[in-house]
Structure 1
């Protein structure tokens, strides 16, 4: 029985339902490679790396040379932080079926395990066997340049970097977006938990008790926090509305707004948040902002917030009446959820940043200023909220553990998104974090994102030495890694464009 693309669509948007179906299929058809493989993919979609790996290993029992299962089984170990195990897995995958992606992962893992010379040789071997148009080449060039710098060979690294820059000049969109997508996929494994709404809620709540500078709605994870939610709902200042979200949902799928919290108390695998019922309205509609943060160095910690962003707007006029809470089209702002809605108006003209259902952050701030709320003050508060979030990650030890005992450049810059709602007084509220924000979308989305992606490329990819570099500095760059890191920070700041340094 062939499994169709319908299940892939179900995995993308309704993973719980997809998993129930696929578990049943694996029981009914225990020898179906497709059923076991898609079950693994459904677990990957939910960042459940242990169950995903188990499903991929079931595939390999049936088909030991299944290339995608070999690589995904190894990737689950990489995503769990087991670099030794992941290296062994990708090396095995490479022996079973020659694959450029497996070889690149072998090189990356050798670098992260401080086997830098071996990493350099593996990257060089990969580049020697790749076809000229292979999408692996830009990623391998980046990896090789960074590994060469960590190996103390900046001149050789610059030569490789110039090859990458030449490719970028020919294909700026493909190269910059491809690098960010791959770097986010292979980032430090401890970023994954923050994409889980339940785990993010727990650390935000704990952090607020120690550092009250952040603003986010009270959040409860069911069933664990049932008693706390019941107590909160009985308070005199309890909200009239709550928003309920699947823990691992995306694209607005499965979100509902309710005034009846009693009807939600028996729910499982959801987070319940106090609903911010007085949002700033854009022509009578609710919207939310996608704010971007870039971490370029874990030690010393350097991070930035992008001064441009994307505002997504609900297709129906907003009404805070609890009797109308059931209507997601006025409360939920994710554009993907409302495709086909007659009120959804997405412009195809990227130069129009203040019309329709998708607008720019700068257009929102201009509008707020025109309506009597200082847009510069609002962005300053957004920046402060991002700083609070990054301080929370630092307090959790993420950056210390990333830097511990590993070459600095084995982890490229990390771009992530924060979903922020601005209330009627112009105060931003942190709603959730997007570990791997998408680049594609409407014309304005792509314009904003691709300008940002080009900026990230220029910040991280430049030769350290040029004809104007003084001789004494050339010598320092060749012999001293601290000098190389200082030069990298200078290049980063000089090319930061709309990225604003965070005060950490």
Structure 2
């Protein structure tokens, strides 16, 4: 068991090394289901779902009733956008394992495929059979209510929505965070494309060509495809003194390095090389990056928001852009998890302290910018423009239209995502990365900010359509008119938005 735990930890913190070791291990132990499961998990972590699907299927040749592998096959198919095949796989897994999670996923996919009556039956069966403490209850109540609304049964939907709201009122952060994490993990599969740094680099480059206003992003090159373009950039008068090199599917700062000469990176494979933003805004001499939260509340019509609070993480060591310190990641890389054990990684244990140690709130950073003679309000205005710019690109690429065309209106929950933003010395934000699934847990301040965020998401997207004291003619309209129900949901969303600010997306470009 300790060895397995060490390998799981390695998957999280050095996935490239983990994959090499695990493929070697599985090659020496071809009949070990445990070894091949770890291989599959390593590929899942890097969003390599074709490879994880193959590994999970191999485990099933060794053990056809392996519960984890059955679910793994279904999840990989879902992540590849193969909903019909995923439905069949989750159905098989539910029949063999009697696992409530697998059954809930059957209901989710039936809803997305328009099989509304089947989905309702599946959710009702699940809710009648699970224990009162089951973690499947809250997402099942949520999705049953949404399915009933799509099936033109708003009164029945409100009964389940009110039950869910009562559970939220009893434990707000627990219920809200659990639902956000479930909904993020079952969003439309195309979101995983943008978590790939290579795909994101292509997207940002395309967007800047047609929509250059409202955003800043560093010049980015995907290798080996953009090798000639990178060499030309390095030979131009725009060449920087430093480049940052990132594996395209890494996370948490894994594998990132800085180089002073582009020749050190030209022969690399599956990396993104970016111009390094070498004049960051510094707090007490340290570089930081901000996690900004966006929300797609509806895809048709498109409604999107930016959250007015966020988190800022600082490097533990004072910043120094001199070439001789390019290899010191503690000066340049601001992912807190990468520096665990560093003596200067000071993390406050008091969630009320917003400007202590290496984790601050966005509000605290903006106040510091203003106190230093800048304009924190203008910086946030530009951050909002940056989020809107990113959403406009997703719209231009057809992501929202494809989702709207593929499934009933409520088959997908509102989509929370994160953008990692670096503020430069002049107070201007730069878009660095996209996070498909912002982490819920962390330091006390992280959990406080995220808890408030998740509760705001819950309140915006979970409300009964019919309130006590509502006029009878309004109730009759809501029962009879699908458009009226959509409008009512938008009203609840606007009234309960908390710290979310609606984005002006303008005309499609």
Establish whether TM, by shorter chain, passes 0.5: yes
Q: 1: distance between equivalents of 2:6 and 2:444?
A: 27
Q: 1: distance between equivalents of 2:163 and 2:326?
A: 55
Offset of residue 260 of structure 1: 2.1
Report what 1:148 is aligned to. 148
Offset of residue 172 of structure 1: 1.4
Q: 2: distance between equivalents of 1:212 and 1:393?
A: 15
Report what 2:116 is aligned to. 116
* Other structure's SS at 2:389 match: helix
Q: 2: distance between equivalents of 1:136 and 1:241?
A: 49
Report what 2:382 is aligned to. 381
Q: 1: distance between equivalents of 2:116 and 2:392?
A: 31
Report what 1:106 is aligned to. 106
Report what 1:347 is aligned to. 348
* Other structure's SS at 1:415 match: strand
371-380 or 300-309: which moved more?
A: 371-380
Q: 1: distance between equivalents of 2:493 and 2:137?
A: 23
Q: 1: distance between equivalents of 2:423 and 2:334?
A: 13
Offset of residue 94 of structure 1: 1.4
Matches of residues 308-319 of structure 1 in structure 2 within 5 Å?
Answer: 308-319=309-320
| Unpaired stretches in structure 2, ≥5 consecutive residues | none
Q: 2: distance between equivalents of 1:476 and 1:374?
A: 48
* Other structure's SS at 1:465 match: coil
Matches of residues 429-468 of structure 1 in structure 2 within 5 Å?
Answer: 429-468=430-469
1:483 correspondence with 2:491: no
Q: 2: distance between equivalents of 1:27 and 1:322?
A: 42
Report what 2:395 is aligned to. 394
1:126 correspondence with 2:126: yes
Q: 2: distance between equivalents of 1:405 and 1:199?
A: 23
1:331 correspondence with 2:332: yes
Q: 2: distance between equivalents of 1:319 and 1:405?
A: 50
Offset of residue 2 of structure 1: 9.2
Deviations 1:78-119 (A, max 9, x none): 111111101111111112111101100000000000111111
Q: 1: distance between equivalents of 2:294 and 2:115?
A: 30
1:279 correspondence with 2:314: no
Instruction: Confirm or deny: 8 A CA contact 1:39 1:55 kept in the other structure.
Output: yes
TM-score by length of 1: 0.98
Deviating runs (4+, > 2 A) in structure 1? none
Offset of residue 146 of structure 1: 0.4
TM-score by length of 2: 0.97
Q: 2: distance between equivalents of 1:285 and 1:368?
A: 14
Q: 1: distance between equivalents of 2:92 and 2:114?
A: 20
Report what 1:169 is aligned to. 169
Offset of residue 54 of structure 1: 0.7
Cα distance 1:30–1:3, how it changes in 2: closer, same or farther (>3 A)? farther
Report what 1:293 is aligned to. 294
Report what 1:157 is aligned to. 157
Q: 1: distance between equivalents of 2:208 and 2:411?
A: 32
Offset of residue 3 of structure 1: 5.3
491-500 or 369-378: which moved more?
A: 369-378
Q: 2: distance between equivalents of 1:115 and 1:480?
A: 21
Q: 1: distance between equivalents of 2:239 and 2:102?
A: 53
Offset of residue 244 of structure 1: 1.0
Q: How many residues were matched structurally?
A: 504
Q: 2: distance between equivalents of 1:326 and 1:39?
A: 31
Report what 1:19 is aligned to. 19
Q: 2: distance between equivalents of 1:18 and 1:337?
A: 16
1:196 correspondence with 2:203: no
Q: 1: distance between equivalents of 2:143 and 2:263?
A: 53
Offset of residue 231 of structure 1: 0.9
Report what 1:368 is aligned to. 369
Report what 1:268 is aligned to. 269
1:40 correspondence with 2:27: no
Offset of residue 227 of structure 1: 1.2
39-48 or 379-388: which moved more?
A: 39-48
Offset of residue 187 of structure 1: 0.4
Q: 2: distance between equivalents of 1:169 and 1:92?
A: 36
Q: 2: distance between equivalents of 1:364 and 1:28?
A: 52
Report what 2:417 is aligned to. 416
Offset of residue 237 of structure 1: 2.0
Offset of residue 405 of structure 1: 3.8
Cα distance 1:2–1:70, how it changes in 2: closer, same or farther (>3 A)? farther
Offset of residue 7 of structure 1: 1.0
Instruction: Confirm or deny: 8 A CA contact 1:3 1:34 kept in the other structure.
Output: no
Q: 1: distance between equivalents of 2:125 and 2:79?
A: 25
1:205 correspondence with 2:201: no
Report what 1:246 is aligned to. 247
| Unpaired stretches in structure 1, ≥5 consecutive residues | none
Report what 2:135 is aligned to. 135
Instruction: Confirm or deny: 8 A CA contact 1:288 1:311 kept in the other structure.
Output: yes
Q: Note the aligned Cα RMSD (angstroms).
A: 1.1
Deviations 1:224-277 (A, max 9, x none): 211111111111121001111111111112111121221111111211110000
Q: 2: distance between equivalents of 1:16 and 1:421?
A: 26
Instruction: Confirm or deny: 8 A CA contact 1:304 1:501 kept in the other structure.
Output: yes
